[in-house]
Every structure is written in structure tokens, then in C-alpha cells.
Amino acid sequence: MGEEPLVRWDWIGRNWPEIQELLADHIIMALVPVVAGLLLALPLGLAGARWRWLYQPTVGTMNVIYSLPSLAVFIVLIPITGLATRATIIVPLTFYAMAVLIPAVVDGLTSVPEHVRQSAVAMGFTPLRRLLRVELPIAVPVVLAGLRVATVSSISLVSVGALVGRGGLGYLFIDGWQRQFPTPIVVGVVLTAILAAVADLLLVVAQRWLTPWSTARSRVREAA
């Protein structure tokens, strides 16, 4: 018998519907925590930027959570959220995303020059309008930089959930390892990498769309 090839294309063809299901499950479990983490990080980051005494305890707590091994957290949550459920994966990944996004929101808001804030006040902007029209748009590049890190990290960590019965593409890693069959592992690695690259590219495009003045400034510098 010949040596087993690294990729068996016939296996991929036969199992493509199941691979698509795992990919869809992976996308949901990776992106829901990022969206939820962003929605929670925005008010907490805003509070941390306004009241600095609140920032350090909040970030400290998030850093402690982020330092916990994901597999251990998944196992601890099983009695509460159940074995092989999306909630077991989504809940801890939401906190991991918040640990990255809260400092990004605070750094973004504190990067707004004070004279810009004062100009907005002089123009009669209310605090809410100043936040929405001035501070948040200026903070977008910093926030999206954190969002890119949180998204790629979430896409990677979902695979660990396969060890507790729900890990999207991570199931392919376990299946390939248990059978000493490399094709599922290669498929899982490639699809995970493609998913991370596509998500990162979409966030880059979103940043350029949300901050058109930044792109225009770069073109002016290049022309000069």
C-alpha cells in the first residue's frame, strides 16, 4: 500500500455538507461573542474613560478572566450551560473579547485631543451628541484595532470547544487526530485561517468606510 496522502480530496467531496455545517457553527460561536463583547465594552469603556478610578478595577478583573485557560472555563460552565451547547463556548469568549475591547475603547476615547472636545462644546454640542459625532468617530481606528484582535482570537479559541463537544471546525482536528488521518486536520486549519483572514479584511474595509478622512490624509501624505 502507498503512503497516505496529506489531503484526500475524495473525502472532502463526500463530507463537504458536514464541513459546511461545522463552518457555519464555528462562525456563529466566534462572531456572537465579539458582537456581544463590543456591545458590553462600549458602555464600560465609556465609563472607564469618564471615571478613571473605575477603569483599573474593571480592566484588572477582565485580565484575570482572560488569563484563565479556555478549556478549564468551558468545563466549569458545563453544569450551568450544559455539555455540547453553544452557550458553553459563547459565554467565556464574550468575556475574553471584553478583556481586549474595554482597553481599546478607553484608549480610543482618551486619544481624542482636548481641543477637539472643547471645540465641540463651543459649538453647542450636548454630551451625547459630542460622543456620537466627535469622540466615537475619532476613536474608531483604535477600537477597530482591538476588535480585529478579539475577532481573530475568538475564531481561534472556538476550536478548543471541540474538547467539550462543541467546537465547530475543531471537531475536524479531533477526528483527524483520533484516526491518524491528516485530511480533516488540514481542512480545519485551512478553513480557520481563511475565516480569520476574511474577518480581518472585512474589519479593515469597515475602518476605511467609517474613517474616510484617514484614507484621504494618507493619500495627501503620499502625494507630498
Domain extents in the chain: 9-218
Are 151 and 203 contacting, i.e. CB atoms less than 8 angstroms apart? yes
pLDDT of residue 11: 93
Alpha carbons 90 and 83: distance in angstroms, whole number: 13
Instruction: State how far the alpha carbon of 91 is from the alpha carbons of 58, 144, 216, in Å.
Output: 18, 21, 39
Query: For the segment 193-202, what is each residue's pLDDT rounded down to a tens digit?
Result: 999 999 999 9
Instruction: State how far the alpha carbon of 186 is from the alpha carbons of 35, 166, 181, in Å.
Output: 28, 19, 10
CATH of 9-218 among 3.30.9.10, 1.10.3720.10, 3.50.30.30, 1.10.1740.10: 1.10.3720.10
Mean pLDDT by 10 residues, the chain (224 residues): 74 94 96 96 92 89 90 90 88 95 93 86 86 87 94 95 89 92 94 96 90 58 50
